[in-house]
Amino acid sequence: MSYGTSVLRFTLEQFIEHWFLTSNNWRPSTLRGYRSIYRKHIKGRGEKLIGDWTTRDVQDLLRTIAAGNGEGDSYAKATLQRIKAFLSIVFRHTVVNGFRRDNPVQQVMLPRTTANGTPTHAYGVEEVRRLLDGAESIAERAAIALAAYAGLRRAEISGLRWDDIDLKEGTISVRRTRWQGRESEPKSAASKNWVPIIRPLAAILREYRRAWLSPKPTRGEDGNEVADTSLFPFDLVFVGRKYALKWHALRRGVATELFAAGASDLDVQRFLRHSKVLMTREHYIKLKDERVERSKRTLDRKFGAKRRK
């Protein structure tokens, strides 16, 4: 994407709207998230010229956002982290293209917030069984099982083809994602990896493979017919709505059950294909800290013991 010197006369809002969000570098799902952050939190607050922004200005902007509307509509720490990350990427964009010498977001500290955010859910074993038993078709059951038993993201499930699945070796190769009909690379280098197929998932996939019928073949570049081997030609968004399920809660459920069974956090990180183990620890393993529980039992014994006379 090219810029002219006139961009220096643009406000932060104009830069985001006319240059940053029009870049073709973003994955569709990433662009959707950026647009949402901009509309909800930045638009109407970014009227200063992009070259005039200081660290203090960004800090004040985040404080204003954190305060909400004065009626209790404040934001949780995770939301403020996403907003800060978005602003940092925007300003890094200006530095890389020579319109600023520094990124004013780098030294910004997250303001304190009283909001706790909405607790995230992880499906337990029985909840997963109920979802699978309640699925009306083998195709829907297979999609849910891929999230519940292999920890795949919804877009990764949508992008699967039959040649990505090796039932003999017991592996799934995550090679692409599909979101709103558009295919792209997986979320990160760590995401582009293989995951094991456990026996319950293998049974469901075999049943689905027997029942699966390829859609009408399409034409390849050579003019010959090419069969579409996509597992799910339908939109999984509607499957989620139909059964009121949260796809990512299935992924968190995998993490939680693995950790509860004795897997280390690094093992869980590899299974979920996260780039950093901190993401796995903080957002996916939904168990009480056993160290705290042991401390509680110790205090119970100490303070609950009868005094000797």
**Residue 127 DSSP class:** H
Neighbours of 83 (CB within 10 A): 21
For the chain, the helix, strand and coil percentages under 3-state DSSP, each to the nearest 5: 50, 5, 40
Q: Are 259 and 290 in contact (CB under 8 A)?
A: no
List pLDDT tens digits, range 228-242. Answer: 688 998 889 999 999
The overall average pLDDT reported for the chain is 84
For residue 247, is pLDDT > 90?
A: yes
In the chain, what are the domains?
5-96 (1.10.150), 125-283 (1.10.443.10)
CA 226 to each of CA 181, 208, 233: distance values in angstroms, whole numbers, following the listed order? 18, 21, 15
Q: Under DSSP, is residue 309 helix (H, G, I), strand (E, B) or coil?
A: coil
CA 239 to each of CA 103, 128, 162, 172, 191: distance values in angstroms, whole numbers, following the listed order? 42, 15, 20, 22, 23
For residue 4, is pLDDT > 50?
A: no
Does the pTM exceed 0.75?
A: no
Stretch 106-120: mean pLDDT: 71
Secondary element (H or E) of residue 215:
none
List pLDDT tens digits, range 42-86. Answer: 999 988 998 899 999 999 998 888 876 444 445 677 788 889 999
Q: Under DSSP, is residue 32 helix (H, G, I), strand (E, B) or coil?
A: helix
